A and B are shown apart, each in its own frame.
Chain A
Amino acid sequence: MANVQEIVDLWNEEQPKYENLGKIVCAFIKDKITDYELLPEIQHRTKELLSIIKKVKKKQSQKEYSYHHLKDKLGIRIICSFQEEMKIIDEFLQKFFTIKEVEYKQENLDFDKLDYVSNHYDAQINLGINEFKKHTELAGFVFEIQVRTLNQHAWSNTAHSLSYKQEKDLPPNLKRKVYRLLSLYELADDEFSSVNKALKEYRDNHSYTLLRKLEGKFYKYAKIDFDREISLNTINILLSYYENETNINQVINEIDGFIISNEQKIQRIYDENRNRFYEILFLTQPEIFIIWYMLQSNPFTLEDNWANDFEEEDLEQIKTLWGNDL
């Protein structure tokens, strides 16, 4: 049987270390995942002492099991918007962490099982990665990373409250209700994905098309979320400065190349000004890329019209950040 006092002592000693590890891993993921043009929600928690004791006791009743077998004393959760992002996050985790075991739940789930698809990883920090090198004392700690979509997360939380997992105890009519609900969540995920894909290819609304092109890039450099309403409004205004459709299409077609060819410069501007975002609000919105593009390609179109809609000092500030070639 579990020696409770031993677990208490071990956990009292290890919990702060796991907590520290959680902070380090979360900070690392938050910082690096934006390079993949994603901005998922990232959380961590260390397990409650009582949960540890209960889990060990429960497992011990089934097999030989101790405190040391627990893999989820630290849990990291990555919640993304769309299913297709799970694949990108999988690549990311495989690249930057030592993955001891991975379970892609969707692959193993029978069609009639009441559970939801999310990816679980038993992981350790990889000391070959620069940011982890100095944390040798945490190298042996295994932790769990769960990757889910928002829908999977919603299902999981609700289902947890309903304690539905004991499906054998559910009467058929309730079981059917739960199946129907689950299928709705799955369908929602599929539909969100297909809408997302369709919208990315949607070219009828120029402002929307541009924003979709820019948001991933924005996450990469700014590493924060932005106000979509402000963005769409500002992009609408900026595009209205162009006299014809050809010019607007040129912006849409050239903006990616512009950002890529100025990657180092944009990265440097963001790194240097991260602690004064509040002074330069345009830096916290993806339309900043369009403004910089216009300063390079259509400076007069921008400068001749700007003052009708925005503060002149804002443009001065944006120009100063971008600098000029002497």
Chain B
Amino acid sequence: MAINHLDTSTIIIENIIVHSIPRHKKGDFSIEPEYSEQESSLPDGLRVFFKDKVIQSLQSNKELRVCYDVESVSPVSTYINQIISSNGADFVEQSKLMTKYLFEIQDGQNASGILVVIFGKINNQNACIIIKLERDEGAQLELDPKTKSFNIKDVKDLMLTRKTKIYKVGLFVDKSVFKIKYDGSTADLQIDPKTKKEVTTWFIEKFLGCVPLADPRTTTKKFYDFTTTYIQSIEDPIKKAKYTQDLNSYLQKNSHRISAKEFADDYMETSDKDLYNRYLKEKNFRMSEFPKDNSFINNKIKTITMIFANDIAIVGKKGTFEKNVKLEEQNDGTTKAEIVSKVKSVR
């Protein structure tokens, strides 16, 4: 039976390895990554800790389905596929190659970091999970000279202290086994104003060599269309007008990643949020973040038109409707609209 979804509660961590990447200037090869030569031992308590951390990251609003970009120069997808197809046999070597590549593309701008590579299962099928942690210089990891591996407990301690910044996660599978269209899911929990303007992040695009599953223009249009349809189904005309204006404002905010969850949280009443969530589920549209691209909807979100039953229409420009049109519900079910302004023109 084909499995067509990845349930994070089924994640099993089998092997884990940690490599350390020091901060360095681009092209400065006098410093090298510190590689583990074998996987770290993983007591049950720590296994649960890492599983929980991966689930929490992928459960966040930052989760994004991705595909390997055929045009990317990143070799990471090859390493991931090798780990998955070899049933984890080639795990140590491939994880070292990933680390080497990460080291090569990083420059002085990037903080020193830790790359945690996991081989395991999701829905009983092979999976490869990559966690990248950034850390302050003071937070050091020491390679055990005997085992030639890092102590995984030190990594946990780093994740729990402020010395480690928020991390990035990618989970990948063999999509043909799952009969899905995407290679994995990523979550970039780094909140960095420098990267905010990028449609995808450095971690997803440059390192993993991935692009979002769907064209952001299409996803944004779908979001707009589905949300508009949902808003139209609301009976209360005042609420309908408010949410319509809110949607337009939200789409025109200076943010490059948006989500239905954020829209609902920022603008809707709780009961409407749940109905909206249910509606989007029916439409197979996800609540989590996606890169925004308004190209296909620019014309639609510039104006709002409110047409009354008596054939009178009010047309307002973005962001001005709420400010200039006062709507009031009347006892007989009609709506009173009040506009106080000078008449500019009549056409």
Contact = CB atoms under 8 A, between A and B. Distances in A.
Interface of A: 243, 265, 268-269, 276, 297-301, 304-305, 316, 319-326
Contacts of A320: 52, 55-56, 59
Contacts of B56: 316, 320
A204 B55 CA distance: 39
A299 B280 CA distance: 13
Given A300-B277, A319-B59, A323-B55, A243 B9 contact: no
A169 B11 CA distance: 70
B48 A276 contact: yes
Contact of B6 (A265, A321, A326): A326
A243 B270 CA distance: 9
B252 interface: no
B63 interface: yes
Contacts of A301: 270-271, 273-274
Given A265-B9, A276-B48, A326 B65 contact: yes
Contact of B10 (A243, A268, A297, A300): A268
A302 to B, nearest CB: 9
Contacts of A316: 56
Given A320-B52, A324-B58, A326-B65, A298 B274 contact: yes
A320 B265 CA distance: 20
Interface of B: 5-11, 48, 52, 55-56, 58-59, 63, 65, 171, 184-185, 264-265, 270-271, 273-274, 277-278
A80 B278 CA distance: 42
A321 B48 CA distance: 10
Contacts of B277: 299-300
Majority secondary structure, A binding face: helix
Given A269-B9, A320-B56, 5 more contacts: A304-B273, A324-B9, A324-B59, A326-B63, A326-B171
Given A301-B270, A301-B274, A304-B270, A325 B6 contact: yes
Contacts of B265: 300
A324 B264 contact: no
Contact of B58 (A268, A276, A297, A326): A326
A292 to B, nearest CB: 10
B7 A265 contact: yes
Contact of A326 (B185, B273, B274, B278): B185
For the complex of A and B, the 9 pairs showing the least CB-CB separation, nearest first, are: A323-B9, A300-B273, A323-B8, A326-B6, A326-B185, A325-B5, A304-B270, A298-B274, A324-B59
A300 B270 contact: yes
A326 B5 contact: yes
A298 B264 CA distance: 13
Chain B contact residues, majority secondary structure: helix
A297 B11 CA distance: 23
A319 B171 CA distance: 18
A300 B58 contact: no
B9 A321 contact: yes
Contacts of B48: 276
Nearest to B6: A326
A304 B48 CA distance: 28
Contacts of A265: 7, 9
Contacts of A297: 274, 278
B229 to A, nearest CB: 19
Most buried by B among A300, A319, A320, A321: A300
Nearest to A322: B9
B10 to A, nearest CB: 7
Contacts of A299: 274, 277
Contacts of A326: 5-8, 58, 63, 65, 171, 184-185
A321 B59 CA distance: 11
A324 B277 CA distance: 15
B7 A323 contact: yes
Given A319-B59, A320-B55, A325 B7 contact: yes
Nearest to B51: A320
Contacts of A276: 48
User: Which residue among A299, A316, A320 has the maximum number of chain B CB atoms within 10 Å of its CB?
Assistant: A320
A268 B271 contact: no
B259 to A, nearest CB: 13
Best-buried of A269, A299, A326 by chain B (most CB within 10 Å): A326
A241 B171 CA distance: 35
A325 B10 CA distance: 10
Contacts of B264: 300
B10 A323 contact: yes
A319 B60 CA distance: 11
Contacts of B273: 300-301, 304
B122 to A, nearest CB: 8
